[in-house]
Amino acid sequence: MHPRYELVVGLEVHVQLKTRSKIFCACATDFGAPPNANTCPVCLALPGALPVLNAHAVQLAVRTALALECTVHRASVFARKNYFYPDLPKGYQISQFDQPIATGGRLLIGVRDDGTPRAIGVTRAHMEEDAGKSVHDRYVSATAIDLNRAGTPLVEIVSEPDLRSAAEAREYCQRLKEILEYIEVSDANMEEGSLRVDANVSVRPHGATTLGTKTEIKNMNSFSGVERAIAVEFERQCALLDAGERVVQQTMLWDADRHQVRPARSKEGSHDYRYFPDPDLPPLVLTAAYIEEERRALPELPAARRARLQGEYALTPYDAGVLTANRPLANYFEAVAQAHGDGKVAANWVMGEVLAYLNSAGLPITAFRVPAAELGALLGLVRDGTVSNSAAKKIFARMVQGAGTPAAIAEREGLTQVSDDASLSAWVDAAWTAHPEEVRRLVGGEKKLLGVLVGAVMKESAGRADPRRVNQLLSAKLAEASRA
């Protein structure tokens, strides 16, 4: 916390909706097509072409707004946002202005650590189309235009200036991404451009209630970049005020390599977009029944799921946070927990062995080949003493390779645990005889040497002896020796 100034941040997040076709024409939205292959008279802005609204884009926008607890409006209006840029063939972008599809929502942050959520206001969510892309070729000093992306459906989510630290801004982005993934409206990937974040940043003296002059930071391409850029801009604005200067309202660009923000060359803040309703598109009118149907169809959202997992499986807030990081992972954990019956053990295995394997293999949980029921069966073998915990890890490593069911692997590879006293006593006696010096000191009172003898038995049995029973047998032998 700064001794004199408070940071005030609001975020504008552009989310690319996961539709197969563009928002106002039938062109495909798939990534990686040859330049300008996915275009038609509508998205090329040829004279006479008329836009037709994509119903699936509306559905995904409504779902997004509902998940953010917004009021979805029965009527909203598409407007033309006029500006000139080479990648905007119509000379205007179709967006929503004074009558957006949704307003007045909120997003909870800070749920994970101490359980007290903080609500960040969502001012509005509106639908719009994306622009094309300018491709600069430095070798021939030319710029080419690719309009494949022009007309891709977006939802812009605007927050209230409720965020008070760079870390909070980052968490807001992470929570938003989680929600967007849970409700399957977007890939929400900043690196691939399906999630873009701009930050409005201002500072004011502690205790002040009016807002200071803001700058807008653009060009951040990761969540850590968002956090760093805001922190750097905060320091810059504080230094200006301390020097008796003023913050100038302008657009700043984040330079991740130099770790600094610098003013954008164009004066973007001073645009007059001359918004007016698009005469080619009628107002978007939704029935109350449609909105309610979408509300009912919403899946359980991450914050609710975290709270439920904590209660249902006695998980810590941290564990619940890790396990709900994405919906397929949470589904997998719950399936293992239900197959095995002990949520805590299931959580330890999914967070330990499963995530370690996926991280090292660079795979998502959706590509994990061990079915939840089989992992549950493995945990059952540990619980009933058929295999030891360390043997279970070896079996798991074979299951990941597709070697069969845990019981079959344990049998085939001789990993079943030995717990009959006849076999165990033979190993215990052998260890006792083989370590006379340790036995002498143990009997003399050095209790910690019991562990050395347990270790010797485990080694002798190639890890198959039941360590709990070995401990009991060795303790009995020690009691006997001490009496003698």
Strand 276-277 and strand 78-82: the pairing is antiparallel
Judged by CB, which is closer to Zn ion: 16, or 215? 16
Judged by CB, which is closer to Zn ion: 147, or 399? 147
Q: For residues 37 and 28, give the distance between their C-alpha atoms in angstroms, rounded to a whole number.
A: 9
- What is the helix (H) or strand (E) element at residue 396, kind and residue range? helix 389-400
* Nearest-approach distance from CB 55 to Zn ion, in angstroms: 16
* Nearest-approach distance from CB 323 to Zn ion, in angstroms: 42
Per-position x/- string for 322-341, each x denoting binding to Zn ion as judged by CB under 5 A, each - no binding:
--------------------
* Nearest-approach distance from CB 130 to Zn ion, in angstroms: 12
Can you tell me whether residue 61 is helix, strand or coil? helix
- What is the helix (H) or strand (E) element at residue 127, kind and residue range? strand 118-129
* Nearest-approach distance from CB 89 to Zn ion, in angstroms: 11
* Nearest-approach distance from CB 15 to Zn ion, in angstroms: 20
Q: Give the position of tokens 């360590």.
A: 467
CB-based contacts of 378-383 (< 8 A; 24+ apart in sequence): 378/406, 379/336, 379/340, 379/342, 379/345, 379/346, 379/349, 380/340, 381/406, 381/407, 381/410, 382/345, 383/340, 383/342, 383/345
Judged by CB, which is closer to Zn ion: 23, or 102? 23
Q: Which of residues 338-377 bind Zn ion (CB under 5 A)?
A: none
* Nearest-approach distance from CB 25 to Zn ion, in angstroms: 3
Q: For residues 392 and 375, give the distance between their C-alpha atoms in angstroms, rounded to a whole number.
A: 10
Amino acid letter, 9: V
Judged by CB, which is closer to Zn ion: 49, or 256? 49
Judged by CB, which is closer to Zn ion: 42, or 122? 42
- What is the helix (H) or strand (E) element at residue 111, kind and residue range? helix 111-114
Q: Give the position of tokens 């198959």.
A: 464
- Of 178, 186, 252, 187, the closest CA to residue 213 belongs to 252
Judged by CB, which is closer to Zn ion: 92, or 332? 92
* Nearest-approach distance from CB 17 to Zn ion, in angstroms: 16
Judged by CB, which is closer to Zn ion: 39, or 103? 39
* Nearest-approach distance from CB 157 to Zn ion, in angstroms: 25
User: Residues touching Zn ion: how many (CB under 5 A)?
Assistant: 5
Question: How far from chain centre, in Å, is Cα 242?
Answer: 38
Judged by CB, which is closer to Zn ion: 40, or 286? 40
Q: What is the DSSP letter of 153?
A: E
Q: Does 94 engage in binding with Zn ion (CB under 5 A)?
A: no
Applying CB under 5 A, among 7, 13, 27, 226 the residue interacting with Zn ion is: 27
Question: How far from chain centre, in Å, is Cα 329?
Answer: 11
Are 442 and 453 contacting, i.e. CB atoms less than 8 angstroms apart? yes
Query: Interacting stretch for Zn ion, rule CB under 5 A, among 38-46, 183-191, 298-306, 365-373?
Result: 38-46
Applying CB under 5 A, among 6, 35, 40, 358 the residue interacting with Zn ion is: 40
State the distance between the two ends of the chain, measured CA to CA, in whole angstroms. Answer: 68
Judged by CB, which is closer to Zn ion: 42, or 465? 42
Applying CB under 5 A, among 7, 8, 13, 25 the residue interacting with Zn ion is: 25
* Nearest-approach distance from CB 184 to Zn ion, in angstroms: 24
Judged by CB, which is closer to Zn ion: 29, or 95? 29
Applying CB under 5 A, among 43, 122, 322, 382 the residue interacting with Zn ion is: 43
Judged by CB, which is closer to Zn ion: 40, or 452? 40
Judged by CB, which is closer to Zn ion: 89, or 302? 89
Applying CB under 5 A, among 42, 320, 330, 465 the residue interacting with Zn ion is: 42
User: What one-character-per-residue DSSP string does 208-230 give?
Assistant: --S----EEEEEE-SHHHHHHHH
Query: Interacting stretch for Zn ion, rule CB under 5 A, among 24-32, 201-209, 222-230, 476-484?
Result: 24-32
Query: Interacting stretch for Zn ion, rule CB under 5 A, among 25-33, 60-68, 270-278, 404-412?
Result: 25-33
Are 357 and 324 contacting, i.e. CB atoms less than 8 angstroms apart? no
* Nearest-approach distance from CB 255 to Zn ion, in angstroms: 35
Judged by CB, which is closer to Zn ion: 54, or 123? 54
Query: Interacting stretch for Zn ion, rule CB under 5 A, among 41-49, 65-73, 320-328, 376-384?
Result: 41-49
Q: For residues 182 and 176, give the distance between their C-alpha atoms in angstroms, rounded to a whole number.
A: 10
- What is the helix (H) or strand (E) element at residue 137, kind and residue range? strand 133-137
* Nearest-approach distance from CB 127 to Zn ion, in angstroms: 17
- What is the helix (H) or strand (E) element at residue 168, kind and residue range? helix 166-182
* Nearest-approach distance from CB 31 to Zn ion, in angstroms: 16
Cβ-based neighbour number of residue 185 at 10 Å: 23
* Nearest-approach distance from CB 331 to Zn ion, in angstroms: 36
3-state secondary structure 397-427: HHHHCCCCCHHHHHHHCCCCCECCHHHHHHH
Binding site for Zn ion (CB under 5 A): 25, 27, 40, 42-43
